[in-house]
A and B are shown apart, each in its own frame.
Chain A
């Protein structure tokens, strides 16, 4: 994992084009537009947290699956465009979201939790007890 680019915390926000999912590599995806959701990943001593932007996806249309050593996030867009409207001007496309994340061995797979608010999915990945920082007791030498 790498720091992809610095994000300014102040000043004007930029527009990032949505990245399309390579549907040749992911043929399980059905028809429609598929995008790779923008994601922040941070780690604390206790856990790893994914914060995934999926605008237009309500909480019951988001799915998080653990498949082998991958965490797979899928979101079906339900809000974002009315079919009866006539589009006059378009700067972005509306579509579903799909992304795979490698799971490091330190993650306790049974304790993964996810929540969704305002189009943002948060996935908590707690580390297994043996991977958390711990104090090593020092014995008194003879």
Chain B
């Protein structure tokens, strides 16, 4: 949390403020610390699961569902598209550009085999959600435990 990477001009105040924020967040107990895993391939994703399906989400605002090229094989989901943020400038000029634009292509290896034909994608409020039903063998199942007398 507190590093020595800028020896010489270590900013005590900002480091302390950062520490204070971390402590506040832990004290509130309602927020997860910012966790980042994996490599830096766009779009960043969250993979979650229920008993029936895997769900892959990505925040890619300003697109349309038909702008995404999605394909699914047994355990691989591929997401491709192009995001352009250079709007109709209407003869204007930029003061600030922070929104990412460009082409992207990402192959995501899934933790279990899914039924590609039954995959569904939605795009609501800039969030792409791909639901991938699990193959039967991959679904969790309960194994009955026999009680042996004796």
Contact = CB atoms under 8 A, between A and B. Distances in A.
| A-B complex is real | yes
Interface of A: 1-18, 20, 22-24, 31-33, 38-45, 48-49, 51, 53-58, 78-82, 84-94, 117-120
B55 A40 contact: no
B96 A41 contact: yes
A11 B104 CA distance: 8
B44 A15 contact: yes
Contacts, number: 199
Interface string B16-28: 0100110010001
Contact of B104 (A9, A13, A39): A13
- Give the interface centre of B34, B43, B46, B61 by most chain A CB atoms within 10 Å: B61
A2 B98 CA distance: 11
Contact of A118 (B28, B45, B125): B125
Contact of A40 (B21, B47, B50, B98): B98
Main secondary structure of the interface of B (DSSP, over half): loop
Interface string B123-148: 11111000000000000000000000
A90 B46 CA distance: 4
Contact of B42 (A14, A18, A94): A14
A41 B86 CA distance: 11
Contacts of A43: 92-93, 95
Interface residues of B, number: 60
Contact of A9 (B37, B102, B111): B102
B62 A120 contact: yes
A32 B30 contact: yes
A17 B93 CA distance: 26
Nearest to A49: B92
Contact of B46 (A1, A7, A17, A92): A92
B61 A85 contact: no
B42 A15 contact: yes
